[in-house]
Structure 1
Amino acid sequence: MIDLRDLEGRWRLDRVIADARAGVTGRLEGAANWHRDAHGLIQEEAGTLHYGDGLPMQATRRYLWRAAGDAIEVFFDDGRPFHTLPPPGVEAVHQCPPDLYRVSYTFDLPQSFTQVWQVTGPRKDMVLSSRFTRL
């Protein structure tokens, strides 16, 4: 199992978004930074999103990562629960009715890790594959 200290620092972020419902592929290129706060880590992402034929746009995300016993819990920046980091080979689930988000992680620390989200439901059908490489 990883420790929050394993994530601390700056990472290059490369994300591919395969949106089957819209028939569009997108990509995000940028950076992610995990830095300490009083309760764990704050993850901040920033990059340029290219989505289909649209003009590039700036995109940002912010999450809170917290140690919870032997687990790591991830929260939205407003404190709402997002998901618990799953053990290797297992998916975590986040329900956002009516859609379902499933995520798996593959860690090759200290240099890189991947995160793959599968989003299904009546409104969405996409796969978001992110690779984080330590800077």
Structure 2
Amino acid sequence: MAARRAWRLVPDLAEFEGAWRLERDVVHAGAAPARFEGEARFVPGKGGLVYREAGVLSMAGQPPMRAERGYLWRAREGGGIDVAFEDGRFFHRITEGGAAQHWCDPDMYEVRYDFEDWPDWSARWQVRGPRKEYRMVSRFTRLTGP
């Protein structure tokens, strides 16, 4: 049996448009795991797609809380996607293979996107440094298309 590839080619930006179920597990070093459940939406705007997620974050010993964040996703000429913070600052680039990094002094953020089961997909983050140490896995399942 052939080994399963951890990625496929990055989908075209337009393929992300719509609503997605989002489930995220976060495991901090030396702490109880956290869970985020909500929805992510990609809508046209600002030269690409505006990404907005909203949902409930649950952590052991704490009451559940509303959480949200957003990014800007823009197609790159020749393929791939640039991801920026809401204010337009570059965050990272998604290319063939799905691996990317972001240095946020003094911590390193590394991600691997997995599009093999498209339209289901995931992003696995590993954050290491003196201020932060955690793993985060986000799983996306399509709810609606464009």
TM-score range for the pair, normalised by the shorter chain length: over 0.9
Give the alignment partner of residue 57 of structure 1, picking from 62, 65, 70: 65
Question: In the alignment, residue 74 of structure 1 is paired with which amino acid?
Answer: V
RMSD of aligned Cα (Å): 1.1
Aligned-residue offset at 1:24: 2.1
**Residue in 1 aligned with 2:75?**
67
Provide the TM-score with structure 2 as the length reference.
0.87
Structure with more relative contact order (C-alpha pairs < 8 Å, separation 6 or more): 2
Q: How many angstroms apart in 1 are the aligned matches of 2:81 and 2:50?
A: 13
Evaluate the alpha carbon distance shift between residue 45 and residue 103 of structure 1 in structure 2; reply closer, same or farther with a 3 A threshold: same
Provide the TM-score with structure 1 as the length reference.
0.93
The alignment partner of 1:134 has SS state of strand
Superposed CA offset, 1:82-133 (max 9, x none) = 0001322x520000000000000111222x1000010000011100100000
**Residue in 1 aligned with 2:35?**
27
Bigger Rg, which one: 2
Identify unmatched segments of 5+ residues in structure 1: none
Could you tell me the percent identity over the aligned residues?
A: 45
**Residue in 2 aligned with 1:46?**
54
Q: Which runs of 4+ in 1 moved over 2 A?
A: none
Q: How many angstroms apart in 2 are the aligned matches of 1:32 and 1:48?
A: 12
Structure number with the higher strand fraction is: 1
**Native 8 Å contact 2:46 2:72 kept in 1:** no
Aligned-residue offset at 1:6: 1.3
Identify unmatched segments of 5+ residues in structure 2: 1-9
Count residues in correspondence. 132
